[in-house]
């Protein structure tokens, strides 16, 4: 799995001009599910994302987590995070999981966040979406679940 985390003041996602998900202060997350990813990958990234200390404390140091600040999240599926751009100029997405598998792990990841946070918005899986957000910092972090698998 690939998870791109953007610290935001607010974010929303629309389909056909209608807002389908949003969050206030917190994290905008783009989640790409790779072929071979498992529930364990989703559990690892969800746990790390809610505990990642990237929000500032009273001394203006990044020392607080999403959970510490009572922050919100918006999660959008994004298979293009698995792009292979090594050969030619047109990326392929062969590393991305099949849609049915990706949807299951995406929904599982979202359910894990909902168990930890008060507000979790989502995009519309498989749809063309427009994202509107106010980045905070900006602070952007890219996580790959394979890194955690290698550490075990």
- What amino acid positions are annotated as catalytic residues? 80
Grouping H, G, I as helix, E, B as strand and the rest as coil, residue 150 is helix
Total length of the chain: 152
3-state secondary structure of 101: helix
Residues 6+ apart with CB under 8 A from 131: 11, 12, 13, 14, 28, 76, 123
CA distances from 122 to 2, 28, 115, 147 (A): 17, 10, 14, 25
Determine the Cα–Cα distance for residues 10 and 132; give it in Å rounded to an integer.
8
| 78/30 Cα distance (integer angstroms) | 6
């Amino acid at each position: 799995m690939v998870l791109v985390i953007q610290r935001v003041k607010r974010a929303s996602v629309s389909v056909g001009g209608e807002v389908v998900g949003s969050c206030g202060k917190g994290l905008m997350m783009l989640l790409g599910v790779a072929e071979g990813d498992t529930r364990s990958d989703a559990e690892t990234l969800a746990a790390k994302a809610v505990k990642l200390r990237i929000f500032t404390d009273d001394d203006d140091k990044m020392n607080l987590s999403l959970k510490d600040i009572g922050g919100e999240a918006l999660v959008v599926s994004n298979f293009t995070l698995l792009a292979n751009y090594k050969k030619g100029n047109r990326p392929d997405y062969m590393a991305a999981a099949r849609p049915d598998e990706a949807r299951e792990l995406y929904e599982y990841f979202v359910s894990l966040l909902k168990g930890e946070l008060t507000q979790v918005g989502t995009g519309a899986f498989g749809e063309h979406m427009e994202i509107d957000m106010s980045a905070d910092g900006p602070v952007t972090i890219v996580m790959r679940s394979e890194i955690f698998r290698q550490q075990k």
